[in-house]
DNA sequence: CTAACGTTTGTCCAATCGGTCAAAAATTTG
DNA sequence: CAAATTTTTGACCGATTGGACAAACGTTAG
């Protein structure tokens, strides 16, 4: 009896090396894009020779594809958790906070995704129009029900989701710019807490003065 | 007496062809990134042979550099116009609207910029930490004075600017995703008006219900 | 006309790319 | 131990890349 039944059965070494390669590829792909990255770069980052790497992944595209598949699951997890039960305002605040934490803790994943979308999403277009659209439509309906119940202000739920994506991922995708503008003093580790505070206020009360 | 005195003097043909190349290069670079684009692609898009293109720009990098230099000027123009005099809330609303219009009318420029930042801004880092930081700091001071005067709510001006950049440029940089999620019905030309309405409400009042 | 100058292109080159292959090295199995 | 299997690598290949170059072409001035 083997460990796995259906999935392509792999030895311990194969699993470890594949993981090593994917880790290295994430680093390389996220900073150079797909076409800008070379197999040699990934192989060197993974500490092995190019033919050795190609022994585990036959083609460069296979690495990228595996990476993207894994990414989408974890990337959409926070949105999936957006729950119908529970206080709407708290749910949204938690969602924003979780997305910002992901931008802080997994910036490479964010940039990998951004790279793909920027270039027209040639490899994941079906997923966007399928799985992603379904999920967003579903959550938009939830948000709409909150609006009907008077729990949050009436706006466009889809653009609301876009704005949360945009503002949080900005701190991963445009990190260089953020740090350059904030400077050495304010661009340190504290910038994510500052961002969290600001975003909470923005999405709660907007900019209108209180009196 | 020639037309220009200091700048490298160029014939009419040179000016026209250089313009043609830059237009073609904007198209190619913004969709494939720098390393993902080839001189052949740009030459073909410009309707000329590769050696002919290299007659006007000696190196691939020169095209990209020229493009980036021009870009930054026009790209930061809206922020430069943010004016101390005039009603703060109106000034901010106009800034957001102008930025959104730029995302709609110049998506290629936005994507070219995003591509550069995503990959660590290797070619324009000095500009970010210099010119850009200076401008943002200056405008942050203006916004801060508005807050002190009680004209807008107190928050972090820098992160406010980031959030405006993020939300507006999102509609250019992530256009494929936006259209895929909105679907054929709502993803048409009207999406920018919907976005404008949503963003105005978000930045004005946030999401708290009016009760 | 012709000489001078600006423009265009076919051809070529070295470097790099993704990927193959056979053989060596390491590991597992009996 | 030895045989079988898996893992690793050096050498190599055709295609593509950025760029060089000289020759051809077009235009203009005298």
ipTM comes to 0.91
Confidence class for position A12, pLDDT limits 50, 70, 90:
confident
Indicate yes or no: CB of B36 within 8 angstroms of CB of A119.
Answer: yes
Contact B53, B21 (CB under 8 A): yes
- Mean pLDDT along residues B70-93: 93
- Domain B10-58: which topology? Arc Repressor Mutant, subunit A (1.10.10)
Confidence class for position B208, pLDDT limits 50, 70, 90:
low
Percent above pLDDT 90 for chain B:
84
- Mean pLDDT along residues B79-101: 94
Beta strands in B39-169 (DSSP E): none
- Going from N- to C-terminal start, the domains of chain B cover 10-58, 61-205
Q: How distant is C1' of C20 from CA of A125, in Å?
A: 31
The angle, 0 to 180 degrees and rounded to 10, between the axes of the packed helices A60-81 and A88-105 is 150
**Smallest CA–CA distance from B124 into chain A, residue:** A177
Confidence class for position B5, pLDDT limits 50, 70, 90:
very low
Per-residue model confidence as pLDDT tens digits over A61-114: 999 999 999 999 999 999 999 988 889 999 999 999 999 999 999 999 999 999
CATH superfamily for B61-205 is: Tetracycline Repressor, domain 2 (1.10.357.10)
A11: left (phi over 0), alpha (psi -120 to 50) or beta: beta
pLDDT of residue A208 exceeding 70, the answer is no
Q: How confident is the model at residue B210, as a pLDDT?
A: 62
Mean pLDDT of the residues in chain A: 92
Q: Name which of A173, A147, A162 is nearest A79 in CA terms.
A: A162
A133: nearest CB among B173, B183, B206: B183
Q: Is the CB of B206 under 7 A from strand C?
A: no
Cβ burial, residue B35 (10 Å; 0-12/13-18/19+): middle
Percent above pLDDT 70 for chain A:
94
pLDDT of residue B15 exceeding 90, the answer is no
What residues contact residue A89 under an 8 Å CB cut-off, 6+ apart? Answer: A151, A152, A204, B207, B208
Cβ burial, residue B4 (10 Å; 0-12/13-18/19+): exposed
**Smallest CA–CA distance from B132 into chain A, residue:** A181
Domain A1-58 matching CATH 1.10.10.60: the answer reads yes
- Mean pLDDT along residues B4-13: 55
Indicate yes or no: CB of B117 within 8 angstroms of CB of A195.
Answer: no
State the nearest Cα–Cα gap between B51 and chain A, in angstroms: 23
Q: How confident is the model at residue A2, as a pLDDT?
A: 34
Q: How confident is the model at residue B12, as a pLDDT?
A: 73
Mean pLDDT of the residues in chain B: 92
pLDDT of residue A5 exceeding 50, the answer is no
CATH superfamily for A67-205 is: Tetracycline Repressor, domain 2 (1.10.357.10)
Structure tokens belonging to residue A8? 């392509």
pLDDT of residue A189 exceeding 60, the answer is yes
pLDDT of residue B85 exceeding 80, the answer is yes
Confidence class for position A198, pLDDT limits 50, 70, 90:
very high
Contact A82, A76 (CB under 8 A): no
The answer, for A90 touching chain B at a CB cutoff of 8 Å, is: no
Confidence class for position A9, pLDDT limits 50, 70, 90:
low
Per-residue model confidence as pLDDT tens digits over A111-131: 999 999 999 999 899 999 999
- Mean pLDDT along residues B56-70: 96
Which nucleotide is the nearest neighbour of B57, by CA and C1'?
Answer: D19
Q: How distant is C1' of D17 from CA of B32, in Å?
A: 15
Q: How confident is the model at residue B3, as a pLDDT?
A: 35
Confidence class for position A6, pLDDT limits 50, 70, 90:
very low
Q: How confident is the model at residue B13, as a pLDDT?
A: 75
pLDDT of residue B70 exceeding 60, the answer is yes
pLDDT of residue B172 exceeding 80, the answer is yes
């Amino acid at each position: 009896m083997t460990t796995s039944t259906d999935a392509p059965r792999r030895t311990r070494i194969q699993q470890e090396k594949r993981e090593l390669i994917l880790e290295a590829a994430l680093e390389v792909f996220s900073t150079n894009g797909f076409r800008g990255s070379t197999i040699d770069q990934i192989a060197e980052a993974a500490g092995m020779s190019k033919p050795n790497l190609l022994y585990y992944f036959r083609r460069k595209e296979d690495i990228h594809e595996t990476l993207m598949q894994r990414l989408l699951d974890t990337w959409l997890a926070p949105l999936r958790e957006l729950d119908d039960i529970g206080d709407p305002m708290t749910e949204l605040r938690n969602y924003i906070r979780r997305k910002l934490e992901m931008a802080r803790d997994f910036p490479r994943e964010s940039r990998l995704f951004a790279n793909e979308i920027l270039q027209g999403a040639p490899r994941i277009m079906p997923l966007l129009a399928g799985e992603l659209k379904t999920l967003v439509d579903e959550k938009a309906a939830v948000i709409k029900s909150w609006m009907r119940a008077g729990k949050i202000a009436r706006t466009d739920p889809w653009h609301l989701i876009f704005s949360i994506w945009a503002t949080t991922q900005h701190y991963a995708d445009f990190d260089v710019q953020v740090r350059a503008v904030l400077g050495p003093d304010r661009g340190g580790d504290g910038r994510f807490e500052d961002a969290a505070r600001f975003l909470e206020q923005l999405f709660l009360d907007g900019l209108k003065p209180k009196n």
